[in-house]
């Protein structure tokens, strides 16, 4: 499990159709073969390790359903180690399992803050709510507005400067993971075991 708080950005050293090697520093501390590292929000398992880089296998499915397929040698990626049991929970629950690819429509500066507009697949919009959590390229962010399948996100300067967000441009693809709690609620409400009287209307009326 991850929290969406990026520890550092790394640089893609090499990428093939079944593996990726990334130059890094902070996330290598205490890391062992078999550990999980989130790369732009994708949970990958470390298969090789040195003092300057790590390597991970990437399945055909992962390459095709995430934005990793658009990376090149030299691409900057967001990195986060899996959360330890005694770690601080700074963001929200992030599984590292990508729901789909979004497309950056714009990143604009407004005073000292930034506004990012992301178009997400229409089938994911039911899991996204105003003031709720969303993960974009592994970054835990708060939804400012959602209109149809366009998600507007207000970004603080620290997040912008310390992630690969500052390199995003219109048309770039990003990895999207919606709030896992929304999926569990949907599953619960869709089963025949829901005898509590809780419904989608009830949740919306009570601010959920």
State pLDDT tens for residues 172-192. 999 999 987 767 666 666 665
Q: Are residues 156 and 113 in the same domain?
A: yes
Q: How many residues would you count in the chain?
A: 208
Whether 149 is covered by a domain: the verdict is yes
Whether 72 is covered by a domain: the verdict is yes
Whether 173 is covered by a domain: the verdict is yes
Whether 122 is covered by a domain: the verdict is yes
* Residues spanned by the domain of 17: 8-81
Instruction: Give the separation between CA 91 and CA 142, rounded to whole angstroms.
Output: 10
Whether 161 is covered by a domain: the verdict is yes
Label residue 58 exposed, middle or buried (CB < 10 Å: 0-12, 13-18, 19+).
buried
pLDDT over 90 at 199, yes or no: no
Given 53, 81, 109, the domain boundary residue is 81
Whether 200 is covered by a domain: the verdict is no
Whether 206 is covered by a domain: the verdict is no
Q: Are residues 108 and 153 in the same domain?
A: yes
Q: Are residues 180 and 105 in the same domain?
A: yes
**For residue 193, what pLDDT is reported?**
59
Q: Are residues 108 and 181 in the same domain?
A: yes
Q: Are residues 58 and 120 in the same domain?
A: no
Report the predicted TM-score, pTM, of the whole model to 2 decimal places.
0.87
Helix (H, G, I), strand (E, B) or coil at 88: coil
Q: Are residues 61 and 104 in the same domain?
A: no
Handedness of CA 12, 10, 108, 173 (dihedral sign): positive
Q: Are residues 74 and 104 in the same domain?
A: no
Q: Contact, 114 vs 155, CB < 8 A?
A: yes
Task: State in Å, rounded, how far the first CA of the chain is from the last one.
Answer: 24
**For residue 164, what pLDDT is reported?**
97
Q: Are residues 110 and 75 in the same domain?
A: no
Given 81, 113, 141, the domain boundary residue is 81
18-51, pLDDT tens digit by residue? Answer: 999 999 999 999 999 999 999 999 999 999 999 9
CATH number of the domain at 31, please.
2.40.30.20
Whether 199 is covered by a domain: the verdict is no
Domains identified in the chain, total number? 2
Please give the structure tokens belonging to residue 198.
Answer: 């809780």
Share of the chain above pLDDT 70, in %: 86
Give 165's contacts (C-beta < 8 A, 6+ positions apart).
Answer: 107, 114, 116, 137, 139, 155, 159
Q: Are residues 113 and 178 in the same domain?
A: yes
């Amino acid at each position: 499990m991850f929290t969406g708080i990026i520890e550092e950005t790394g640089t893609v050293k090499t990428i093939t159709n079944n593996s990726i090697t990334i130059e890094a520093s902070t996330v290598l501390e205490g890391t062992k073969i078999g550990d999980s590292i989130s790369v732009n929000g994708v949970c990958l398992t470390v298969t090789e390790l040195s003092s300057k880089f790590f390597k991970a296998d990437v399945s055909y499915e992962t390459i095709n359903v995430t934005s990793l397929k658009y990376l090149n040698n030299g691409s900057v990626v967001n990195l986060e180690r899996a959360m330890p049991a005694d770690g601080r929970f700074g963001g929200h629950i992030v599984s590292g399992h990508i729901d789909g690819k979004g497309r950056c429509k714009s990143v604009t500066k407004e005073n000292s803050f930034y506004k990012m507009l992301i178009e997400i697949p229409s089938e994911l919009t039911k899991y996204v709510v105003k003031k709720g959590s969303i993960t974009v390229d592994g970054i835990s962010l708060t939804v400012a507005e959602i209109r149809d399948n366009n998600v507007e996100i207000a970004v603080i300067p620290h997040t912008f400067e310390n992630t690969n967000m500052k390199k995003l441009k219109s048309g770039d693809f990003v990895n999207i993971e919606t709030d896992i709690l929304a999926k569990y609620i949907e599953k619960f409400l869709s089963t025949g075991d829901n005898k509590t009287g809780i419904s989608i209307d009830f949740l919306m009326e009570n601010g959920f």
